[in-house]
Amino acid sequence: MQYRDPNRPARPSPRARQNQRVQQIRQLRTVLLVCAVIIAVLAVAVTVFAVRSHRMTDTDIVQEKAYASLSAAFASEQAAREQEGASYQAQLDEQSKAHASEKDALEATISDLNRQLSVKQAAATGPSSGSGSSGSSDLSQKTIYLTFDDGPSPRTPEILKILDKYGVKATFFVINGGKYNQYMKDIVNAGHAIALHSYTHSYSTIYASESAYFDDLQKISDVVYEQTGVRTKLIRFPGGSSNTVSRKYSSGIMTRLTKQVESKGYVYFDWNLSSGDADGNRVPAQTLINNCRKVPRSNSVIVLMHDASVKKTTVEALPSIIEYYKNAGCKFAKLTESSPTAHQRVNN
């Protein structure tokens, strides 16, 4: 008889073991089935998400392209409007320049007519102040003061060269010549007198009021000092003290200014002989020469000429003008604070 340990559990029968294996296989199949279902669900979810994501990306791309297209169209339209605005502004600026040029030309014409009238009056009566002499027809008794307005300019070196050639000293009533201001030092170094004319030479600006005039005068005085180290008290009013253009901007201003400049220590100079180069930009040189031969009775002759860039015929006429006076025995001098002023009649 076989011995059996009472504490050892009984071994399952083969049938029981088989049933147990079948049960385990079924459980495993169930687990695998569940895993397969889960994997399938996840796969479907991933696929749906990918499809939706792709669709959203395509939509975003389309929208982005549409936005970019609209932005480009807007930018193009805006650029076109800006270009149209710039073109319109350029036309306005061009018209304004044309009107300003016409205005300046008209003012210059009026001023020149006043100058010519004043010169005729001065020639008939002699200067209102100066040497005090009744004048003489003998040119050898006369002192010629050549004066040049509206420089410095490209003409300045040419004029200085001619003056140096003949050993003549002159006076330059200067404005703000921009890049040509360097010639101011050449004027002084050559022994000529430098004097103040205007910073802007804009009648509407300088004759708007007394303070406007003196502001402009101080500016050109500072420029002269910066370029030359000279503080000059010699001045000439744009248009002369007899000009009437100033009446458009301030009635009676010339009457007030002629007194105020003197009270401030300035000495203002007009002229009693005009070369006529203010009548236009291409006045024939011979006309200028002929005008300068019409010498007034005064023994002190202050000749008006211009040193502007457009006054080429003034440079052409200058040698003959100097030779005429020299051959007549005239003396030449530059203006000083004690020189005759040849004041014209104040008309405003």
Indicate the pLDDT class of residue 336, thresholds 50, 70 and 90.
very high
Task: Kindly give the residue spans of alpha helices, DSSP state H, lying in the chain.
Answer: 14-125, 156-166, 183-189, 203-206, 210-228, 253-263, 285-292, 312-327
| DSSP code of residue 244 | S
Does the pLDDT value for residue 64 go beyond 80? Answer: no
Indicate the pLDDT class of residue 85, thresholds 50, 70 and 90.
low
Q: Are 253 and 246 in contact, with CB atoms under 8 Å apart?
A: yes
The pLDDT of residue 27 is 82
Indicate the pLDDT class of residue 20, thresholds 50, 70 and 90.
confident
DSSP-derived secondary structure for 161-211: HHHHHHT---EEEEE--GGGGGHHHHHHHTT-EEEEEESS--HHHHTS-HH
The pLDDT of residue 306 is 98
Instruction: List residues bridging with 274 in a β-sheet.
Output: 304
Q: What is the mean pLDDT of residues 327-333?
A: 97
Could you give the CA distance from residue 150 to residue 154 in angstroms, rounded to a whole number? 11
pLDDT tens for each residue of 220-231? 999 999 999 999
Indicate the pLDDT class of residue 24, thresholds 50, 70 and 90.
confident
For the record, the structure tokens of 29 come out as 């199949």
Separation of CA 120 from chain center: 38
* Range of weakest confidence among 20-34, 110-124, 257-271, 333-347: 110-124
pLDDT tens for each residue of 144-170? 999 999 999 999 999 999 999 999 999
Q: Are 177 and 152 in contact, with CB atoms under 8 Å apart?
A: yes
The pLDDT of residue 82 is 72
Greater model confidence, 123 or 11: 11
Could you give the CA distance from residue 195 to residue 190 in angstroms, rounded to a whole number? 14
Does the pLDDT value for residue 86 go beyond 70? Answer: no
Considering the chain, what is the average pLDDT of its residues?
Answer: 84
Q: What is the mean pLDDT of residues 305-313?
A: 97
For the record, the structure tokens of 245 come out as 């253009």
Distances (CA, A) of 41 to 33, 48, 52, 303, 317: 12, 10, 16, 111, 109
The pLDDT of residue 26 is 81
Could you give the CA distance from residue 308 to residue 327 in angstroms, rounded to a whole number? 28
Q: Are 306 and 150 in contact, with CB atoms under 8 Å apart?
A: yes
Does the pLDDT value for residue 253 go beyond 70? Answer: yes
Residue 332 has a CB neighbour count (10 Å cut-off) of: 17
Nearest alpha-carbon partner for 178 in 161, 194, 159, 156: 156
Between strands 171-175 and 273-274, the pairing is unpaired
Indicate the pLDDT class of residue 100, thresholds 50, 70 and 90.
low
Look at phi and psi of residue 268 and say left if phi exceeds 0, alpha if psi is from -120 to 50, else beta: beta
Greater model confidence, 96 or 246: 246
Residue 31 has a CB neighbour count (10 Å cut-off) of: 10
pLDDT tens for each residue of 102-148? 555 555 555 555 555 544 544 444 444 343 334 556 799 999 999 99
* Range of weakest confidence among 11-15, 22-26, 178-182: 11-15
For the record, the structure tokens of 203 come out as 């009648």
Does the pLDDT value for residue 1 go beyond 70? Answer: no
Q: What is the largest CA-CA distance in the chain?
A: 183
For the record, the structure tokens of 51 come out as 């499809």
CA dihedral 132, 133, 134, 138 (to 10 degrees): -150
For the record, the structure tokens of 218 come out as 């101080």
Indicate the pLDDT class of residue 346, thresholds 50, 70 and 90.
very high
Kindly report whether the global pTM for this prediction surpasses the value 0.75.
no
The pLDDT of residue 28 is 80
pLDDT over 90 for what percent of the chain? 60
Q: Are 271 and 342 in contact, with CB atoms under 8 Å apart?
A: yes
* Range of weakest confidence among 47-51, 160-164, 282-286, 328-332: 47-51
Greater model confidence, 17 or 166: 166
Amino acid of residue 79: A
